[in-house]
Every structure is written in C-alpha cells, then in structure tokens.
Amino acid sequence: MELLGLDEIRDLLGGVSKQRATIIVGRKGFPDPLVTLKMGRVWDGKTVRAWITKNRPGPADED
C-alpha cells in the first residue's frame, strides 16, 4: 500500500503550493484521509492517484 502525505500529493499535482494543495485536498469529492496523525493527514496513494487522473489529468499519470 502506498501512503501519501500532503507533500507527496503536492508532487503528484505538479508541485503546486502547500496552500493550493491544502485547498484541493479539502474539496468535496477528494478522497478522505485514512488517518490523521500529529504530523498530518495520510491518504491511500492508489485512491489519490485515481482522483487526480480523473479530475486533474497530467502529473499523476507520470511514474
């Protein structure tokens, strides 16, 4: 299982700012985090990649 934090999601979104990434992950329809730890939220990578491919095609398609 691939786990992602906000910084990894920023990279998948093409290096958007932390502020922009926070807005995106807070939108209705973005996958819910698996858990929230003291260091921040953690998402399932497969679910996030699928959302990005559907809603923001481009960077997530590149592995």
Q: At 29, which amino acid appears?
A: G
Per-residue pLDDT tens digits for 18-38: 999 999 999 999 999 999 999
The answer, yes or no, to whether residue 48 has pLDDT greater than 90, is yes
pLDDT at 58 exceeding the cut of 80: no
Edge-to-edge strand list for the sheet holding 3-4: 3-4, 40-44, 35-37
DSSP string, 26-54: TSTTSPPPSEEETTEEEEEHHHHHHHHHH
